[in-house]
Amino acid sequence: MELLNQARVKTEKIIDTLYEALKVKLKKKPKTYRNLARKNYLEVAKKRRPSRKKRRKAIKKQLQYIKRNLGHIEQLMQTGAALDVLSKREYKSLLVVTEVYRQQQWMYENKFQRIDDRIVSLNQPHIRPIVRGKAGTPVEFGAKLSVSLRNGYAFLDRISWDNFNESVDLKTQVEAFKQYTGVYPESVHVDRIYRTRSNRAFCKDRGIRISGPPLGRPPIHVSQEKKKQALEDERIRNSIEGKFGISKRRFSLNRVMAKLPHTSQTAIAITFLVMNLSALLRQFFCLFFCVLLPSCQILETSINPAYN
The per-residue pLDDT string of the chain (308 residues; one tens digit each, 9 = 90 and over) reads 999 999 999 999 999 999 988 887 887 888 989 999 999 999 999 998 999 999 999 999 999 999 999 999 999 988 888 888 899 999 999 999 999 999 999 999 999 988 988 999 999 999 988 887 777 778 888 888 989 888 888 999 999 998 888 888 999 999 999 998 899 999 999 888 899 999 999 999 999 999 888 888 888 888 888 888 888 888 888 888 888 888 989 998 888 888 899 999 999 999 999 999 998 988 888 777 776 655 555 444 443 433 33
Report the C-alpha gap between 272 and 123 in whole angstroms.
Answer: 26
CATH level 2 (architecture), domain 129-287:
2-Layer Sandwich (3.30)
Decide if 131 contacts 164 (C-beta within 8 A).
Answer: no
Decide if 44 contacts 52 (C-beta within 8 A).
Answer: no
pLDDT in the model for residue 288? 73
Q: Domain extents for the chain?
A: 2-110, 129-287
pLDDT in the model for residue 291? 67
Decide if 82 contacts 21 (C-beta within 8 A).
Answer: yes
Residue 188: CB atoms within 10 Å: 22
Backbone angles phi, psi at 153, to 5 degrees: -110, 135
Please, where are the H alpha helices in the chain? 2-21, 34-45, 52-79, 88-110, 170-181, 197-205, 224-249, 261-287, 293-307
pTM assigned to the model: 0.78
pLDDT in the model for residue 63? 96
Decide if 201 contacts 177 (C-beta within 8 A).
Answer: no
Would you call 99 exposed, middle or buried from its count of C-beta atoms within 10 A (0-12, 13-18, 19+)? middle
Decide if 36 contacts 42 (C-beta within 8 A).
Answer: no
pLDDT in the model for residue 306? 39
Decide if 96 contacts 122 (C-beta within 8 A).
Answer: yes
- Amino acid occupying residue 75: Q
What b/e readout covers 259-271, taking b as 16+ CB neighbours within 10 angstroms? eeeeebbebbeeb
- What three-state secondary structure class fits 8? helix
How far is C-alpha 281 from the geometric centre of its chain's CA atoms? 29
pLDDT in the model for residue 268? 93
Please, where are the H alpha helices in 152-222? 170-181, 197-205
Report the C-alpha gap between 216 and 75 in whole angstroms.
Answer: 66
How far is C-alpha 186 from the geometric centre of its chain's CA atoms? 31
Report the C-alpha gap between 172 and 146 in whole angstroms.
Answer: 11
Question: Of how many residues is the chain composed?
Answer: 308
pLDDT in the model for residue 295? 54
- What three-state secondary structure class fits 139? strand
Backbone angles phi, psi at 60, to 5 degrees: -60, -40
Decide if 22 contacts 43 (C-beta within 8 A).
Answer: no
Report the C-alpha gap between 70 and 67 in whole angstroms.
Answer: 5
